[in-house]
Structure formats: C-alpha cells, structure tokens
Structure 1
Amino acid sequence: MNFSVQSILENKEYQLIPLQQGDFESLYEVASDPKVWEQHPNKDRYKREVFKNFFEGAMESKGAFKIVDKATEEVLGSTRFYDYNEIKNSIFIGYTFYGVKSWGKSINPQIKKLMLDYIFQFVETIYFHIGKENMRSQIAMERLGGRKIAEEEIAYFGEPTRTNYVYKIQKENWI
C-alpha cells in the first residue's frame, strides 16, 4: 500500500482523527446508547464488553477514525477504511456509527465525501458492507451513489457472521 489509511481528514466542520487506544472511553460514551445499534447487525454493541471487542477490531484494522466536531471537540462516532485489495485496486469503508444526536444533520454525507475524495486518489473502487436490516445506512448509501451489488455473510471481528449487502462506488462515477 503506497498511501495511508490513517491520515487526518477534515473539512470546515469535522475531523477524522486516527483512532488511538486512549479514545475508548469517549467513543464508548457515544456507543453506549442502544438506539445507535438498533438497525446494525450486532444490536448488543452498546454493552461495554461487546463494544470493547468492536473497538479492538477497529484498532487492529489500522484504518479506524474517531469523528470529531471541530467547533466543540466532541466525539460524534467512528468509521474506518479496511480490506484494501491491491489486485482489485479497491478498499472498503464501513463500521460507521454516530451518536443519536448527530442523526439527521447531514454529517454522514460530509464524512463519506471526505473519505471518498481522499481514497479515490489511490483506488478505483470502494465497497461498503451494510447490514441487511440497516435501512438508514442503505438509504444513505444510495443517496451517495452507491449501488447494491451483492448479499453476503460477513464475519465481523470476534462476532458471528451476519447478512450484509455489498454496495459499490466506482471512481469514474464519483462527483
């Protein structure tokens, strides 16, 4: 890989800062609300021990970020790059979540735009795994121009497999 999946990315309002071990508590504070996980494949991630496993997977991915509001320095959630494939010239974006108070404020499209604009400098294709029951994320993905291309069972870090849809955005289709 001749690029970093952990560069600080930012626009006027938000920053994506590479996740560090010391970020656990501030991120868990956001993740500890059961509503955050209602439509996600693992609905128990609001539990400390389950989230601890999720956080461990984020750290091991070496592509995870905390999402920060620049004005308040508040942690809003997390996202990551993962599964870079040099042969297919592709990467995944996912494992994204936001606290409930960030919902409906057009934060996710701004964060995804930051990530897509950055990573399309290095790859031709970006994939996303979206939980089969996660209607909010499916709608968000379609608004971004993602195309549903498959359904597959995905084994999340330290968790059982879950049914996910695979979405795809090609560089030539990105605005």
Structure 2
Amino acid sequence: MVVTLFKDNLSLEGERVRLLPASLEHLDGLFKASYHSDIWTYSPSIINNQDDLHTTMRNWIMSKEQGLRYPFVIIDKSSNEIVGSTSYMEISLQNRKLEIGGTWLDPKVWRTRINTECKFLLLKHGFEKLNLVRIQFRTDSRNERSIRAILRIGAQFEGVLRQDMIMPDGYLRNSNLYSILNTEWEDVKTRLERYMKKEEIN
C-alpha cells in the first residue's frame, strides 16, 4: 500500500548514498552542505543562514504531517557527511503518483554517482514498493544542467507550466514538466543501473 510511504523510519540505501528522513538533528549538516550560492540559482527557496534553514525544516515537517511531502537528507557513505536533500512531494495517494523534487547537492559531489543513485533509489521504491503509476519532475525552464540530468535518466518531457512559481527575486518562473510511468520503469531502471556501473568505474 502507498500509505507505507509515511512511516517515520523510511530510509533508502545504495552503494554510495543513504537517504534518511530529514529531522532537526540534521540541521548543522544540512547548513554546512547548503552554504554555496551556486546551489540556489534556480531554486524557489534560498538558504542563506540558519534562520532560513530552520524555516525550511519547519515547512518540511508541516508538509510531512499533512501527507504532502517526505523530505530526506542525503548521506555520502564514503565520508558519512550530509551532502544535500531531496523529497517525495506533491503526493497524491488516491492517484498513486508523486513528484521527486526539492533536490539540491553540495557542489563537491556534483557530477558524481550520488545524484544518479538517489534518483534510482527513489524511483525504485516508488514503483516497486509503493505501487505508483506516475512519478514526475519539475525544473526551472532556464536550468539547463537540471534539464539534462532529468532527460538523461529517461524521463519524458510533457510541457511547460507557465508562471508556475514566484522566485525569491520576484521572477515568474516557467517550469518544465517531465514524468516516468510505471510501464516505463524497467527500461529506466536498466538505464540507471548502466550509468551507475559506469560512474563507479570512473
């Protein structure tokens, strides 16, 4: 049943990363990982200081209690350090769908296996354990790096959500929408496993 998504102890683990439910005990590690302005160029939220992070965590907890989001911290197993965060969000149990989003990583682990493995773990759990029929992704239509990463895993472009979000500077953001369906998962799974094997060798 999809409802198992909301167990407080839901964690996912791969060869390189461990995804743990985000909580107040992770604040220091999250702040250390988030203290890079490059992370927030296209983000609808910005963490500039501890107050910003406390506000973000309170919002995460509130959304989790409402069944709308399940936030994770990303642990790099090679260093045992927090290197970012990602979430299940826009959760619709009755329609067996959700969004993987709110993802950010410390620049020191950009272009490593970590992001690929995070997506693999979240997609695998979503389709194989939660019995979802659809998982979607959104990104700023200007964010070419994120667009390439989403297309690389095999998600299908569906269109542009015009003026989808108001950014911190007042900019009206258009968001590109992508999705993977349960009928496409096996092909995407094979693709991600191949990428991870290659990235591990490199």
TM-score normalised to the size of structure 2? 0.76
Where structure 2 has 5 or more consecutive residues not aligned to the other structure, the ranges are 65-69, 187-202
1:159–1:10 distance in 2 versus 1, CA, 3 Å: farther
Specify which of 79, 83, 89 is matched with residue 86 of structure 2: 79
Equivalent in the alignment of 1:58? 60
Shift of 1:117: 0.3
Shift of 1:38: 2.3
1:66–1:159 distance in 2 versus 1, CA, 3 Å: farther
Query: Does the 8 Å CA contact 2:30/2:84 hold for their aligned counterparts?
Result: yes
Q: Distance between the aligned counterparts of 2:185 and 2:40, measured in 1? A: 29
Equivalent in the alignment of 1:140? 149
Where structure 1 has 5 or more consecutive residues not aligned to the other structure, the ranges are none
Compute the RMSD of aligned alpha carbons.
Answer: 2.3
One-letter identity of the residue aligned with 2:155: G
Equivalent in the alignment of 1:162? 173
Task: Identify, as 1 or 2, the structure richer in helix.
Answer: 2
List structure 1 segments (4+ residues) > 6 angstroms apart after TM superposition: 158-161
Equivalent in the alignment of 2:138? 129
TM-score normalised to the size of structure 1? 0.87
Q: Distance between the aligned counterparts of 1:163 and 1:124, measured in 2? A: 25
Query: Does the 8 Å CA contact 2:140/2:174 hold for their aligned counterparts?
Result: yes
SS of alignment partner, residue 93 of structure 1? strand
Count of aligned pairs: 173
Query: Does the 8 Å CA contact 1:9/1:114 hold for their aligned counterparts?
Result: yes
Deviations 1:23-71 (A, max 9, x none): 11210111111011223344x4334444443333323232000000123
Equivalent in the alignment of 2:3? 2
